[in-house]
Chain A
């Protein structure tokens, strides 16, 4: 009986995906997705507001929730993936098998990316189909927005794995991941903007490209702009697309590698 990491990675990934399905996370997330789509499509007619006529403008209302959706995917499908093995003591079953810990992390990462990718893809598929049905057109920018959301989601998953490899409890890992992307990075971004520092290195800032690509008024990236209140009350900053994509990739690679190294050295002491 010989086996290799190449064979083991899809096995680990398959069982991890089964966890998301049977644990009702993936079906739950898809239900939530249905609700969001239902609200986006259902509320305007109920309030007597018309839909935008341009596809990009129409999908912008979807893209407004893309970042949050990516964060939710990271929280639900990644943040407890490694910590749970220790907290729930399932590592006592898994680790004495002839499987390298790196293989376990890579398998789990693949499952997290697949589940998260499915959610994001479903969301954009619904947005694109709706845009086509309502506006009669589909644009290349919608596809770019989808790609950028996937890239942002990938970086979140990488960071979530890093947190999960270090934290003792699944709840703390989940909470930390969620607030890091929804609160901490945003606070840091706001402070840096006030100080006239370009926060290009923050993934939540770089995620601005998701909506920016669809906005008809958006100029080339890499500039400051006035907020919705006008008069410069809120400043926003969206880096260049290439910078953002490189940043997402760097976050994913750096944090995933760090997660693997930590997971490999972590001891099962309790």
Chain B
């Protein structure tokens, strides 16, 4: 990973926004995290990936002092979260799961509560509240009580309160959860604009397309263990196998399926419908073009030919599969 990392030396704090060392968390015999070493470089938009139950939320809870790890250490900007939670969380804005808010407060009052707890003055709170509520498109609801808000609206309030104090580090746990497609696009847009402002963003998601679109770094977690971490570009280049869906004009025969298996670089063929094949192909877009050419030259009437999922998705599936086989 190319980085601006500084490490912990001689007990002196590092400047890394997030660092975990050997983090372990066990719930009633179930190991949710096992020896997690995570490093989030400053200014990065870091995607934290993994299937449900992988330990993403547990990690986020451990680094925001909502749970206590059984072993290991989590630091924010070099400050131990367990020992100095208030200091560690000072420069952090967080949206964890879909938080609930006090129903008797309006978004403006909720932001004022968070701002006052953080030591902001009244003028700053008013100015920033207006700005962040506009950003999450809740200005019209600023004075309504939250008790009647939908899940998506509460998620927007959550994002607004996380941004209120201009945090240097933004921790987002499934930030688009509960939002409609338009809301999801808007949140992605907000995250992208925040990324350009130089903040460090750490977001967990199981939506790979979303992470690939927004993040420059990723870490993949499964069964509480870190499978990989690095820049999206580097990792995407690592994966050499991709899935393609090929639809034909007319049904495809078994002997033709067998022939497709012999095409160079085709590693697997699966007939998913009468006129559709799923191919696993080793190689990049040049190889895809050659496979398509071979199919057409063989006389197969290809109606459509498209890659299935992003390269990150392929990488994800490969690593998760490998981990399951171990």
Shortest B6–chain A CB gap in Å is 23
Q: How large is the interface on A (under 10, 10 to 19, 20 to 34, 35 or more residues)?
A: 20 to 34
With beta carbons under 8 angstroms apart, the residue of B87, B92, B117 that contacts A11 is B117
Is B68 a contact partner of A265 (Cβ separation < 8 A)? yes
A19-B104, A88-B100, A265-B68 known; A96 vs B89 contact (CB < 8 Å): yes
**B158 beta carbon closer than 8 Å to chain A:** yes
**Contacting residues, chain A, for B158 (C-beta < 8 A):** 93
Q: Could you tell me which residues of chain A, from 3 to 45, have a CB within 8 Å of some CB in chain B?
A: 3, 7-8, 11-12, 15, 18-19, 22-23
Distance from A88 Cβ to chain B, minimum over Cβ atoms (Å): 5
Q: Which of A97-105, A115-123, A160-168, A207-215 sits within the interface?
A: A97-105
Determine the chain A residues whose CB is within 8 A of the CB of B161 once the complex forms.
Answer: 93
Q: Which residues of A contact B305 (CB under 8 A)?
A: none
Residue ranges of A at the interface with B (Cβ–Cβ < 8 Å):
1-3, 7-8, 11-12, 15, 18-19, 22-23, 88-93, 95-100, 265, 267-269
Chain A contact residues: helix, strand, loop or mixed: loop
Q: Which residue of B lies closest to A3 (CB)?
A: B119
- For the complex formed, measure the closest distance between the CB of A81 and the CB atoms of chain B, giving whole angstroms: 12
Q: Is there contact, CB below 8 Å, between A99 and B94?
A: no
B114: nearest residue on chain A (CB-CB)?
A: A97
Residue from A3, A15, A97, A268 with most neighbouring chain B CB atoms (10 Å): A97
Residues in A with CB closer than 8 Å to B27 are 269
Are A1 and B68 in contact, with the CB atoms below 8 A? no
Does B205 count as interface, using CB distance less than 8 angstroms?
A: no
With A267-B67, A268-B61 already in contact, the answer to whether A93 and B101 are too (CB < 8 A) is yes
Q: Decide: A90 and B67 in contact? CB cutoff 8 A.
A: no
Residue of A nearest to B165 (CB): A1
CB within 8 Å for A90 and B99 given contacts A99-B117, A267-B66: yes
Within the complex, the shortest CB–CB distance from A204 to chain B, in Å, comes to 32
The one of B64, B99, B104 that contacts A22, using a Cβ cutoff of 8 Å: B104
Q: 19 A-B contacts, Cβ less than 8 Å apart? A: A1-B118, A2-B119, A19-B102, A22-B104, A88-B100, A89-B100, A90-B101, A90-B102, A91-B66, A92-B96, A92-B97, A92-B100, A96-B64, A96-B89, A96-B92, A96-B96, A98-B90, A267-B68, A269-B67
**Minimal Cβ-Cβ distance residue in B for A2:** B119
Shortest Cβ distance from B172 into chain A, in angstroms? 11
**Cross-chain contact A7 with B61 (CB below 8 angstroms):** no
Query: What B residues does A90 contact at CB under 8 A?
Result: 99-102
Assembled-state Cα–Cα distance A3/B89 (Å): 12
Shortest CB-to-CB span from A268 to chain B, Å, is: 4
Contact A18:B104 (CB < 8 A) given known A92-B99, A95-B65, A97-B114: yes
Q: Is the CB of B99 within 8 A of A11?
A: no
Judged by a CB distance under 8 angstroms, whether B19 is at the interface is: no
Q: Please name all residues of chain B whose beta carbon is closer than 8 Å to the beta carbon of A88 when the two chains form the complex.
A: 100
* CB closest residue in chain B, given A268: B66
Contact A18 B105 (CB under 8 A): yes
| B-chain residues with CB within 8 Å of residue A2 when the two chains form the complex | 119
B94 touches A96 (CB 8 A): yes
Q: Cβ of B86 and Cβ of A268 under 8 Å apart?
A: no
